[in-house]
Amino acid sequence: MKRTGATMVVEALASEGVRHVFGIPGGSVIPLYDALYDATFAHVLV
Protein backbone atom coordinates (compact mmCIF):
# COMPACT_ATOMS: atom_id res chain seq x y z
CA MET A 1 0.00 0.00 0.00
CA LYS A 2 1.26 3.45 -0.90
CA ARG A 3 2.02 5.61 2.13
CA THR A 4 0.70 9.13 1.69
CA GLY A 5 0.51 12.21 3.87
CA ALA A 6 -3.09 11.32 4.63
CA THR A 7 -2.18 7.83 5.84
CA MET A 8 0.59 9.30 7.98
CA VAL A 9 -1.92 11.69 9.59
CA VAL A 10 -4.29 8.80 10.35
CA GLU A 11 -1.43 6.74 11.81
CA ALA A 12 -0.38 9.68 14.01
CA LEU A 13 -3.94 10.19 15.24
CA ALA A 14 -4.24 6.48 16.04
CA SER A 15 -0.93 6.45 17.92
CA GLU A 16 -2.20 9.34 20.06
CA GLY A 17 -5.38 7.46 20.94
CA VAL A 18 -7.80 9.68 19.03
CA ARG A 19 -11.32 8.23 19.01
CA HIS A 20 -13.34 10.96 17.27
CA VAL A 21 -12.62 13.04 14.18
CA PHE A 22 -14.69 16.13 13.40
CA GLY A 23 -14.92 17.60 9.93
CA ILE A 24 -16.70 18.40 6.72
CA PRO A 25 -15.76 16.27 3.70
CA GLY A 26 -14.83 18.30 0.66
CA GLY A 27 -12.47 18.56 -2.26
CA SER A 28 -9.16 19.24 -0.55
CA VAL A 29 -9.59 16.71 2.28
CA ILE A 30 -10.86 13.76 0.25
CA PRO A 31 -7.50 11.92 0.51
CA LEU A 32 -7.73 12.20 4.30
CA TYR A 33 -11.27 10.83 4.30
CA ASP A 34 -10.12 7.98 2.05
CA ALA A 35 -7.43 7.14 4.62
CA LEU A 36 -9.96 7.39 7.46
CA TYR A 37 -12.25 4.86 5.75
CA ASP A 38 -10.39 1.88 7.23
CA ALA A 39 -9.60 3.56 10.56
CA THR A 40 -11.49 2.89 13.77
CA PHE A 41 -12.26 6.55 14.44
CA ALA A 42 -15.81 7.78 14.77
CA HIS A 43 -16.39 10.59 12.28
CA VAL A 44 -18.61 13.47 13.34
CA LEU A 45 -19.93 15.58 10.50
CA VAL A 46 -20.07 19.26 11.46
Q: How far apart are CA 11 and CA 26, in angstroms?
A: 21
Query: Which amino acid would we find at residue 17?
Result: G
Under the banding of pLDDT at 50, 70 and 90, the label for residue 1 is low
Task: Tell me how crowded residue 36 is: count the other CB atoms within 10 A of its CB.
Answer: 20
Read off the pLDDT of residues 11-36 as tens digits, 9 standing for 90 and up.
999 999 999 999 998 889 999 999 99
Q: What pLDDT, on a 0 to 100 scale, did the predictor assign at position 2?
A: 81
Q: Which residues contact 35 (CB under 8 A, 6 or more apart)?
A: 4, 6, 7, 9, 10
